[in-house]
Structure 1
C-alpha cells in the first residue's frame, strides 16, 4: 500500500503529516501529488470528502519551503481561490496544519470581514494566500496586495466558481499572476463549461480522475420521500427525532426558506441554527463551530453557504428542497460519509420537483431508493430548469439572484466578495 513517504514529499513535511495521524494517502492524493511535485499543471476530479486540499496543499508547501527568506511586503507566493468564505477558512485551516513546522505564513481574505485588518496582514507579505475572488480584487484595487510574484495558482471547487459567475474575476486575477506559473484546478463535478476554464488557465495539464464526476461517495446511502411541500417540515421533524444524536445538515433552496425552517425547528425544541448569505461572517462562523462541536445538532443551509463544511461527524444530509442544478446535489450529499465514514442522504420531493429528481438520477446514473410515497401521476407544469443556476425564476415566482455572483444581464460586473 502506498504511503505518504512514497510520494516524494520532504522529510519535514512527512513529519508534520505523521504528527496529524495521517500515513496513507487517498486515491486523489496518490495520483495528484507526484505530478504537482514534478511541476505539472493538474486538473483533479474527485468526490467531495476525498482529501483534495492535501492533494494540492502538501506539494505546494513542499515547494514553497525551499524558497529562502520571507516574502516581500504585500507580495504573495502561492494563491488559492475558492468560491465561499466557509471553504476559504476550511482550506486555510488545513494549510496552517501543513506549515506548522515551517516558516511559511498562510493568510486569508474574504468578504464580510474587516478589510482594514486584511490590508494590515497582507502588508507583511504572504507565502500562501487563500481568498474569495471578489474581496481579492478589492484589495488589488486598493494596492494592498501584489500578485505578480505568485507562481502557484489553485482553483478549488472550480465548478462552483463558474456557477457563481466568477469567470470574469478569475480572468482578471490570472493576468496579474507571475510567470512561469503552475496551476492546479480541483473539482468534484465536471460541467461542460469547465473545458473553457481548463484551456484558459492550464498548460498541458495532467488530468487526474479517481471517480466519475457526479458520483457520490460509496458509503452514502441515498433515499427519497415523495411528499407534498406542506408536509415536508412534519416529515423532517419525525426523521430528526429518530436520530437525536447525529449531526444533520438540511438544505433549503433559498435564504428565506432556510431561516424560516430554522426558526420553526427551534420553536419545536430542536437545537438548530442556519447559515446563508444574509448572515454575517461572524454569525456563519459561530454557527459552524457550534455544529462542529455538537452543541447544534441541525444546521439549515443554502448551497453557497454550505461549501466548506468539512465535518466528519455529519451523519445525515436532508435535501429539504431539491436543487435546481443537479451537480449541487452531489456536493450536498458529499457533506456526509466523509473521512471513510458512512452517512445518510435523504431527499424530499414534491410533485413539482420530480423533474429535478430525474435530472439528479440521470447525472449520477442511478435510481434513488424510494423510502415513502410515490411520484405524482400527473406532474405539475414547472418552469424550465436553468442549468447554470441563475437568472431564472424559482418556484413560487421568486426571482433567483445569486448573492455571490453578477445579476442577470450584467455579465461584466464583478461578483460581490464572498
Structure 2
C-alpha cells in the first residue's frame, strides 16, 4: 500500500495530512495524485465518498504553492465546478483543511446566498474558486470575476451536472478559462454524454477508475421489500426505524413534495426527522445536514439532487422509499452508507409499478437483490440466478 509520501507530495502537505488524521491514500488518490502532479488531464471514475477532493485538491494545491504568485483582483487561479450547493460547501471545507498554514485562499460561490458578499470576496482575487455553474456565470456577467488566469479546471460529479441541465453553462465556462489549462473530470458514471464532454474539454486524458460503474460498495447489504402500495412502504419503514433506534437513516424520495410529506409524517409519529430538497432554502438545508451529522436527528428524507453533496460517514441505513428512474442513481444512493470502511444496509421498497426500475438496477449491478418480504408479480419473476444481499454475489 502506497503512502502519501510515495505519491510525491511536499513535506508541508504531508504534515497537514498527518495533523488531520489522513494516514493512507485511498485508491483514487493513489492513482490520481501522481498523474495530476505530472500535469496530465484526467478522467476519474469514482463514487462520492472515495476521497476525490483530496485526489485533485492536494496536487493542485501543491502546484499552486510552488508557483508562488497571487491572483489579480477579481480573478482566480483554479476553478472547481460542482452541481449542488451542498457539494460545493463540502469540497470547499476539505480544501480549506488542506491549505492551512499556506498562502492559498479558497473561495465559494453558490446560489441562494448574498451575491454582494460573494462579489466582495472575489474583489481581492482567490486562488481556488469552488462554484456552482449558474451563480458563477451570474458573477461573470456582473464583471465580479474573470477566469483568464485559471490554469486548473475541475468538473466534479460531471454526470450529475449533465442530469441537472448544466451542459450549456459548462460550455460557456470552459471558453472563459484559458485553453492551456489542466482539466480534471470526475464522474461516478460514464454515459456517452460524459465521454463526449471529456472529448471536448480534455487533452489526451489519462483515465483512472476505482469502482466500476454499477458496482456498489462491498460492505453494503442490500434488501428489497415487494409491497402493494405506499401504505405498506411507510409501515415497514417505521418498523425498521424503530428496530434500529441508534441508526443514522437516509431515506430517498423521488419528489420534493413526497420527501416533505414523508418527513412530516415520521416527525409527527415521534421520529427525529428532517428533510432536504429543492424547495428548502440554503440555510434550512445546512441546518438539517448539521443536525443529521451531529446525531441530533436520526432520520433525513432527501431527493437525489439535494443529497448528492452529503458526505456523512456515520450513515448506517439507506432506504429507497421510491426507486429512482435512473439505475445509476440507486448506486449513488446506497453509496451514502458503508463509508470510511464501515458496514451499511440498503433497503428498497418496490411497488408493482416500480418492478421495471428494480430490474434495471439489478441488471446494471449484475446481481439479484435479496428479498426481505413480499413477492414480485408472477409475470415479473426474475430470471434464474443466484440471489444474494451483499451487493456483488
CA shift at 1:211, angstroms?
2.1
Superposed, 1:123-138 pairs within 5 Å as: 123-138=123-138
1:301-320 equivalences in 2 (<5 Å): 301-320=302-321
Helix, strand or coil: the match of 2:97? helix
Q: CA deviation at 1:378?
A: 4.9
Any residues of structure 2 matched to 1:199-218 within 5 Å, and which? 199-218=199-218
Query: Unaligned 5+ residue runs, structure 2?
Result: 381-393
- Counterparts in 2 of 1:157-168, with a 5 A limit? 157-168=157-168
The whole-number CA distance in structure 1 between the counterparts of 2:215 and 2:162 is 20
| SS of aligned partner of 1:66 | helix
* Matching residue of 1:75: 75
Partner of 1:407: none
Paired residue for 1:385?
A: none
Task: Please identify, of 187-196 and 287-296, the stretch whose mean Cα deviation from structure 2 is larger.
Answer: 187-196
Aligned position for 1:391? none
Q: Hey, what does 1:30 align to over in structure 2?
A: 30
Q: CA deviation at 1:190?
A: 1.4
Following the alignment from structure 1 to structure 2, what is the Cα–Cα distance between the partners of residues 54 and 345? Answer: 27
Deviations 1:44-101 (A, max 9, x none): 0123311111111111111111122322111010100000000000000100000012
1:244 matched to 2:245? The reply is: yes
1:58 aligns with 2:58: yes
Structure 2 residue 347 is the aligned partner of structure 1 residue 346:
yes
Distance, in Å, in 2 between the alignment partners of 1:23 and 1:265 is: 40
Q: Distance in 1 between matches of 2:83 and 2:55?
A: 18
Asked if structure 1 preserves the Cα contact closer than 8 Å seen for 2:323 and 2:357, the reply is yes
CA distance in 2, matches of 1:350, 1:104: 51
Q: Distance in 2 between matches of 1:262 and 1:229?
A: 14
Could you tell me how far 1:180 is from its partner in structure 2?
1.1
TM-score (norm 2): 0.95
Distance 2:12 2:351 in 1: 54
Spell out, residue by residue over 1:153-194, the C-alpha distance to the aligned partner (whole angstroms, 9 max, x if none): 001100111111111100000000023100001111112211
RMSD of aligned alpha carbons: 0.9
Q: Over residues 286-336 of structure 1, what are the superposed CA-to-partner deviations in whole Å (9 max), with x where a residue is unaligned?
A: 000000000010000000000111000000000000001111111111111
Tell me if the contact between 1:47 and 1:216 (Cα under 8 Å) persists in the aligned partners.
no
Q: Deviations over 1:18-53 (max 9, x none)?
A: 111112101111111110000000000123311111
* 1:14-29 alignment, distance < 5 Å: 14-29=14-29
Q: Deviations over 1:357-397 (max 9, x none)?
A: 01111111111111111112356xxxxxxxxxxxxxxxxxx
1:297 aligns with 2:289: no
Contact persistence 1:80–1:130 (CA under 8 A): yes
The equivalent residue for 2:272 is: 271
Cα distance in structure 1, aligned partners of 2:74 and 2:94:
23
Shift of residue 10, structure 1, vs aligned partner: 1.1
Between the aligned partners of 2:218 and 2:49, the Cα distance in structure 1 is: 11
Could you tell me how far apart the structure 2 residues matched to 1:179 and 1:325 are? 34
1:149 match: 149
Greater helix percent: which structure?
A: 2
Contact 1:36 1:56 in 2 (8 A): yes
Q: Give SS of 1:65's match.
A: helix
Q: 2:71 touches 2:149 (CA, 8 Å); kept in 1?
A: no
Q: How far apart, CA to CA, are the structure 2 residues paired with 1:282 and 1:160? A: 22
SS at structure 1 position matched to 2:316: strand
Structure 1 unaligned regions, length at least 5: 380-418
Aligned to 2:364: 363
Separation in 1 of the partners of 2:108 and 2:149?
17
Once residues 281 and 337 of structure 2 are traced to their aligned partners in structure 1, the CA distance between those partners, rounded to angstroms, is 25
Aligned: 1:13 with 2:5: no
